[in-house]
Amino acid sequence: MSRAFTQDGQEGEGAGVLPERPVSAERNLVTGRGLALIEAELRHFRAAFASAEAAADRTAMGNAARDIRYWAARRATAERVAAIGSNAGIRFGMAVTLQYGDGRKVVWRIVGEDEADAAAGRISHASPLARALYGKDIGEEVRLGPQKAEIVAIDTSEEDAGASGAALME
């Protein structure tokens, strides 16, 4: 077989194994829900590795091992933070209701990077929106690109691990 158009490591074993997942340089802040999600991902990929090993599927083993390394690193660096009420303004873990000029209200909960899901109303603590909200309080305005929104409510209760997150209210 000609090797003219392959690079070392492309042929045979290892072909199809995904590259390493990059780990964020941001602090790995997590809510209780986020920590539970990380642990669930670890369990899932450990089971996937065991299944691939039983089937002697080296590619699947390599891919599962890659995900185990990623989630183990995320678990090892996780910093559990609980949202608690205080006079310090908006912080990690809080849900914030924004009202736009057209009357729309949107609720965003500030969470860890691995549990962020904009469709479910959860944004990463490292996102520009979260950074714009930090330290602000009810009645203050925040500029979001060309739009402005007023902070109309802050929820300091922790999101339940089974809850689906915040959402568009109107």
Is there a domain that residue 51 lies in?
yes
Q: Look at residues 133, 135, 106, 134 and name the one whose alpha carbon lies nearest to residue 121.
A: 106
Does any domain span residue 50?
yes
- Count of domains observed in the chain: 1
Nearest to 148 by CA among 135, 133, 134: 133
In a domain, 47, yes or no: yes
pLDDT of the chain along its 170 residues, tens only?
A: 444 444 444 444 456 888 999 999 999 999 999 999 999 999 999 999 999 999 999 999 999 999 999 999 999 999 999 766 666 789 999 999 999 989 999 999 999 999 999 999 999 999 999 999 999 999 999 998 888 999 999 998 876 544 444 444 44
Residue 120 lies in a domain: no
Rounded to 5 degrees, φ, ψ at 107 are -110, 130
Provide the pLDDT for residue 82: 78
In a domain, 45, yes or no: yes
Domain that holds residue 53: 29-80
pLDDT score of 3:
45
pTM of the complete model: 0.79
Is 160 a member of any domain?
A: no
Tell which residue, 115, 130, 136, 124, has the closest CA to residue 26: 124
pLDDT at residue 83 in the model: 65
